[in-house]
Amino acid sequence: EAGVAQSPRYKIIEKRQSVAFWCNPISGHATLYWYQQILGQGPKLLIQFQNNGVVDDSQLPKDRFSAERLKGVDSTLKIQPAKLEDSAVYLCASSLVEGNEQYFGPGTRLTVT
Amino acid sequence: QKEVEQDPGPLSVPEGAIVSLNCTYSNSAFQYFMWYRQYSRKGPELLMYTYSSGNKEDGRFTAQVDKSSKYISLFIRDSQPSDSATYLCAMSAASGTYKYIFGTGTRLKVLA
């Protein structure tokens, strides 16, 4: 069974630029999560989708971050404009349904200069 | 006070030692308890997934949950250099969005 796929793996941008990350969850997984992991910290949930609907986006900085999962499968997370403090690893995870085990992708390491 | 507390380490042990990793939490609504292993520049890998109190064993790994003390542990027997990684605990409630709350992770180094 293929795991969670993410791209790109690394991205370097200047502040005020925009960036987008892509995630393809494990086949058949209805729930998809985006996390932000700052160096030395645990992952922090940004947004959770159930199929193509948003379940929780309470910690998403909505003035600059947006995410979509239009067809209930893959998802994109966008930052516009980026700030220095957005430098982090952006992790995507998926689970069969809410409350089940979450499986993570390899992450995208973002550096904002 | 953070909802989940975890000692960041680093923890260095000799090969073959028994390793004990721990987390404490404050939210009594947590019912699901997970342990993830994260190698450098990789995504977290699920090791153990438990519900409510008690023990769960999988190979060299044992997860323990004590809800009365709000304390969870992961034991690694016969530790190997390949176990060197950061270990993250995570917890969620059994209702609502089942949002995972992660600890900061404990960095473990097993010396050959």
Could you tell me what percent of chain A has a pLDDT over 70?
99
* Banded pLDDT at A71 (limits 50, 70, 90): confident
Q: Is B21 on the interface with A (CB under 8 A)?
A: no
Q: Is there a contact between A41 and A47 (Cβ–Cβ < 8 Å)?
A: no
pLDDT of residue B80: 97
pLDDT band at B78 (very low <50, low <70, confident <90, very high): very high
Amino acid at A85: E
Q: What is the average pLDDT across B42-56?
A: 92
CA distance linking residue A25 with residue A40, whole number of Å: 25
* Radius of gyration, CA atoms only, chain B: 14
Burial of B65 per CB tally in 10 Å (0-12, 13-18, 19+): buried
- Number of other CB atoms surrounding residue B18 within 10 Å: 12
Nearest CA distance, B60 vs chain A (angstrom): 20
Beta-bridged to residue A7, according to DSSP, are: A22
Return all residues near A39 (Cβ < 8 A) that are at least 6 apart: A88
Residue recorded with tokens 């995870």: A93
Burial of B35 (0-12, 13-18, 19+ CB in 10 A): buried
Tokens of A59: 């910690």
Give the per-residue pLDDT at A48: 95
A61 at interface of B, judged by CB pairs closer than 8 A: no
Chain B CB within 8 Å of residue A56 CB: yes
Query: Looking at the partner chain, which of A33, A101, A106 has a beta carbon nearest the beta carbon of B46?
Result: A101
Closest to A48 (Cβ–Cβ): which among B45, B88, B97? B97
Query: What integer pLDDT is reported at residue B94 of this predicted model?
Result: 78
- Number of Cβ atoms within 10 Å of the Cβ of A65: 19
Q: Match 């404490």 to its residue by tokens.
A: B24
A29 pLDDT band (50/70/90 cuts)? very high
Q: For residue A108, which of A20, A15, A17, A16 has the smallest C-alpha distance?
A: A20
Residue A1 has pLDDT above 70, yes or no: no
- The Cβ of residue B112 has, within 10 Å, a number of other Cβ atoms equal to 8
